[in-house]
Structure 1
């Protein structure tokens, strides 16, 4: 993580706001007595990282890296780099290569490394992510920073209850990180997204790719929500849009055909007549307001 000034924070008088320096790092020494607690801290601190690329590298333990200020890019598990900006949680997972590069003038991070058999249970509870969830936007990084400071306070190997207090503080940190996640914006239903793009000249496979879904999953979802195949759903959406335009506008039939996805007005007219039972002009005469 780079060279930083060390601060002894292993005393019970240390508290948020009373530290001598804002940038610090500590590597607690795991003891045999601490291992039965199931979770112990390996590294923690707050530091500035200069604007230079790091990696690829691999860590031995889980590391929660909270971006407090600044922005840059991150890549984990060989995936393409993504832009990241504060506040964001970056998970460095053991055995998974990662790279990152802070932008100018660098970024500020708070971090905590940990390991132990209880990590598996934390993963099952959603407190530790899978590799594909290594970048987690946060609503704020302040609670994580405060909890990491608290963790530094209790990571005092000379205390008799060091194993229990440090394990409890780590569980609190994981819960804090979970609660600080920014809720992703609600995703529109698949049928709504497909209807919005029904006018595009795409096949069902291409629609599935655009929606980041396997074709089979797209078919299953539309069948469940609309009771038909994606192809029939797209066709129905186009025809319903055409009906509305015929009844409420003065657009020419050729213009309506293009708007709903048909470059050939003749093909549109034949299809509309076969499916609706009336040619577009007759439909307009019957349904347009007089």
Structure 2
């Protein structure tokens, strides 16, 4: 849909005479209760650029991610403070929270938005992917976020029977892309996370890990929460249990030896921890998953462009 109201572009894309031009395309969806059980559903998507009309003041009953790819403008929230917005940037609109924002009246901006809701929003918020306390978030770039939004716009074609599921998957992808693109998050390059991953299998407490970085335990918790959306303990546990599963499936090591390999001197404690987090005991996990395919276990991450394949045997 291309809007043709005051200040908009015409259907042919030509500016209206004597008016400051902007262009808007948007679609809105109504997912069923079954789709809501996917965890996240997309309620709408839009692509806009130019000297857009001011939005609000208003409140909504769902979340919106507004991605600013170029240009600048401003945002005003419940505190009444007017914040500058300079691309690349993200504006979070959260349910029930008053917001008021707009592009620079002269130069405008390039904006994409996605409306979404669902029970998984609470988990994404707890993990730090959605931060309602920071309505304006500087980004390093918008390329991956725009790619996810592009998938939503392509799915929005009329009559697409997979619309709600495709757009739901793309909202999950969008939240991950926005988390990675945050200017204050190093992601895979964060030095604290790299060091924790390197030392994850050593029998160190959180306090000892913090001391290695010249931090207090509280400072380490803040740093890991900001970079990974979890506590240091949970971050380390995820790495340890992931490696334990690989050893259980890919080797014949006894459970006690697996426990030692991943940093637990007490096999009984490791088994209780594994069972509580995974849902089954280590030995049972090994039985369910079976052994690795013949040819041996590899720790090398395969190239997605050239995954492992079976070469057909030539026949005479």
Q: TM-score range by the shorter chain?
A: 0.5 to 0.7
Within 2, Cα distance between the matches of 1:37 and 1:156?
Answer: 21
> Looking at CA atoms only, which structure, 1 or 2, has the larger radius of gyration?
1
Within 1, Cα distance between the matches of 2:161 and 2:52?
Answer: 42
1:3 alignment partner in structure 2: 3
Q: Secondary structure at the match of 2:34?
A: coil
Deviation at 1:183? 2.3
The answer to whether the 8 A contact 1:29-1:157 is kept is no
Within 2, Cα distance between the matches of 1:65 and 1:81?
Answer: 17
Q: Secondary structure at the match of 1:33?
A: helix
Are 1:108 and 2:110 matched, yes or no?
Answer: yes
The structure with higher relative contact order (CA 8 Å, sep 6+) is 1
The answer to whether the 8 A contact 1:78-1:97 is kept is no
Within 1, Cα distance between the matches of 2:46 and 2:163?
Answer: 18
1:177 alignment partner in structure 2: 178
| 1:106–1:124 CA distance, 2 compared to 1 (3 A) | same
Deviation at 1:162? 4.2
Deviation at 1:155? 4.6
Q: Secondary structure at the match of 1:71?
A: strand
Q: Secondary structure at the match of 2:57?
A: strand
User: What does residue range 210-229 of structure 1 map to in structure 2 within 5 Å?
Assistant: none
CA displacement, residues 207-230 of structure 1 (integer Å, 9 cap, x when unaligned) = xxxxxxxxxxxxxx9xx99xxxxx
| 1:52–1:113 CA distance, 2 compared to 1 (3 A) | closer
| 1:119–1:79 CA distance, 2 compared to 1 (3 A) | same
1:125 alignment partner in structure 2: 127
Within 1, Cα distance between the matches of 2:83 and 2:112?
Answer: 20
| 1:141–1:24 CA distance, 2 compared to 1 (3 A) | same
Deviation at 1:92? 0.8
Within 2, Cα distance between the matches of 1:156 and 1:28?
Answer: 11
Deviation at 1:165? 2.8
| 1:160–1:50 CA distance, 2 compared to 1 (3 A) | closer
CA displacement, residues 92-144 of structure 1 (integer Å, 9 cap, x when unaligned) = 111101111321221120110101111111111211112x2111000112221
| 1:3–1:92 CA distance, 2 compared to 1 (3 A) | farther
2:71 alignment partner in structure 1: 70
Question: What 5-or-longer segments of structure 1 have no aligned partner?
Answer: 8-21, 186-220, 226-290
1:151 alignment partner in structure 2: 152
Q: Secondary structure at the match of 1:34?
A: helix
Q: Secondary structure at the match of 2:178?
A: helix
Within 1, Cα distance between the matches of 2:99 and 2:130?
Answer: 17
